[in-house]
Structure 1
Amino acid sequence: MILIAWCCLLTLLPLVDLANERVDHPVEIVTGNWETIGSFALSFVVIARLWLTHHRMLAHVARYTNGLVLWNMAWLFTAVLLPFPTELVSQYGSDTFTMAFYMGTVLASSICLSAMTAVIYRSPDIQDPENPLDVWHLANGVTTTALIAVALVLALVVPGVNYFALFLLVLTPVILRSWARART
Structure 2
Amino acid sequence: MTRAGVQERGRAPVLYSAERPKAFIDAVVAIAMTLLILPLMESVSDAADAEGTALDWLGDHRWQLTSFVLSFAIIAMFWLNHQRLFSGVQRVSTTLLWISMAWLLSIVWLPVATALSGRMPDDDALTKAIYIGSMILTALVATIQRVYVLRHRREFGEISTDTLRGGLSADISMCILFSVALVVSITIPAVNYNALFVMLLMGPMQALVRRLLPPLED
TM-score (ref. length: structure 2)? 0.75
- For residues 97-144 of structure 1, what are the alpha-carbon distances to aligned partners after superposition, in whole Å with 9 as ceiling and x for unaligned? 111000111110111111111111122223432655432221221122
Q: Which moved more, 1:160-169 or 1:34-43?
A: 160-169
Q: Is the aligned partner of 1:136 residue 2:161? A: no
Query: What is the match of residue 153 of structure 1?
Result: 183
8 Å contact 2:136–2:174 — kept in the other structure?
no
Task: Give me the whole-angstrom Cα distance separating, in 2, the residues matched to 1:73 and 1:25.
Answer: 42
SS in 2 for 1:101: helix
Task: Give me the whole-angstrom Cα distance separating, in 1, the residues matched to 2:99 and 2:183.
Answer: 24
Distance change (3 Å), C-alpha of 1:159 and 1:129 = same
Structure 1: runs of 5 or more not aligned: none
Moved beyond 4 Å, runs of 4+: 179-184
> 1:19: how far off?
2.5
Query: Among the aligned pairs, what percent are the same residue?
Result: 27
What is the aligned-residue RMSD (CA, Å)? 2.2
Q: Which moved more, 1:101-110 or 1:161-170?
A: 161-170
Partner AA of 1:170 in structure 2: L
Q: Is the aligned partner of 1:167 residue 2:197? A: yes
8 Å contact 1:4–1:79 — kept in the other structure?
yes
One of 33, 37, 51 as aligned partner of 2:79: 51
Query: What is the match of residue 96 of structure 2?
Result: 68
Q: Which moved more, 1:125-134 or 1:115-124?
A: 125-134
Partner AA of 2:44 in structure 1: A
Query: What is the match of residue 206 of structure 2?
Result: 176
Partner AA of 1:155 in structure 2: S
Count residues in correspondence.
184
Task: Give me the whole-angstrom Cα distance separating, in 2, the residues matched to 1:182 and 1:4.
Answer: 31
Structure 2: runs of 5 or more not aligned: 1-25
One of 110, 116, 124 as aligned partner of 1:82: 110
Distance change (3 Å), C-alpha of 1:72 and 1:164 = same
Distance change (3 Å), C-alpha of 1:93 and 1:117 = farther
One of 98, 101, 119 as aligned partner of 2:127: 98
8 Å contact 1:15–1:36 — kept in the other structure?
yes
Partner AA of 1:27 in structure 2: L
